[in-house]
Structure 1
Amino acid sequence: MTEFYDIKIYIFYDDHPEMHFHAFYQGDGGEFSVKTGKLIAGKLPPRAVKLISEMMNEHKKELKENWKLAEQHKRLKKINPLKKI
């Protein structure tokens, strides 16, 4: 869906409940709740978590829309990368 600062963000089709997305950075990965914005599984460096939280604040609506599209097995919309901070 999006990539910024070498962080890749995905939502997978047929994934388990609780609206969330997956983030990968330099071999590490985690899952973030769209509802709370918190890391709910996995491990990422603090700097990556901060950047992912910033992206989520900018694009929460788009993340929710893409989750709903994934539930319907529809094509996900690309999300603009995090603006430079």
Structure 2
Amino acid sequence: MPQISRFFGIIIAMYYDDHNPPHFHAKYGSEECLIAIRDLTLLSGRLPSRALGMVIEWAALHQSELMVNWELAKQLQTLNTIEPLM
């Protein structure tokens, strides 16, 4: 699972050729969740509320870049790194 960003101990990644809807994985410690790219909703899993808030804030800033990476992942191409939340 290629890592596309990392900030404050949170790892953001996407799987190649993953299932719809377009989404990304966020991992913090032993917790993991899937976030839909289009509406930034929690699809499954969980993160502590503070970490989830930072992930949603980051994703809102980089939604178009996430969709580009989703399309690259569908085509099994190298994913772009996305700037972390500062």
TM-score tier, shorter chain, comes to over 0.9
Q: How many residues align?
A: 83
Q: Classify the secondary structure of the residue corresponding to 1:62.
A: helix
- 1:41-63 Cα shifts (integer Å, max 9, x gaps): 00111001100011011100100
Q: Give the corresponding residue for 1:7.
A: 10
Q: Distance in 2 between matches of 1:17 and 1:51?
A: 23
Which consecutive segments of 4 or more residues in structure 1 shift more than 2 A?
A: none
**TM-score, normalisation: structure 2:** 0.94
Q: Indicate whether 1:63 and 2:66 are aligned.
A: yes
Match among 18, 25, 33 for residue 36 of structure 2: 33
Q: Classify the secondary structure of the residue corresponding to 1:80.
A: coil
Fraction of identical pairs, as percent: 37
For the 8 Å contact 2:17–2:75, the answer to whether it is kept is: no
Q: Distance in 2 between matches of 1:33 and 1:71?
A: 15
Q: CA RMSD in A?
A: 0.6
Match among 79, 82, 86 for residue 76 of structure 1: 79
> Which blocks of at least 5 consecutive residues in structure 2 are unaligned?
none
Q: Indicate whether 1:48 and 2:84 are aligned.
A: no
**TM-score, normalisation: structure 1:** 0.95
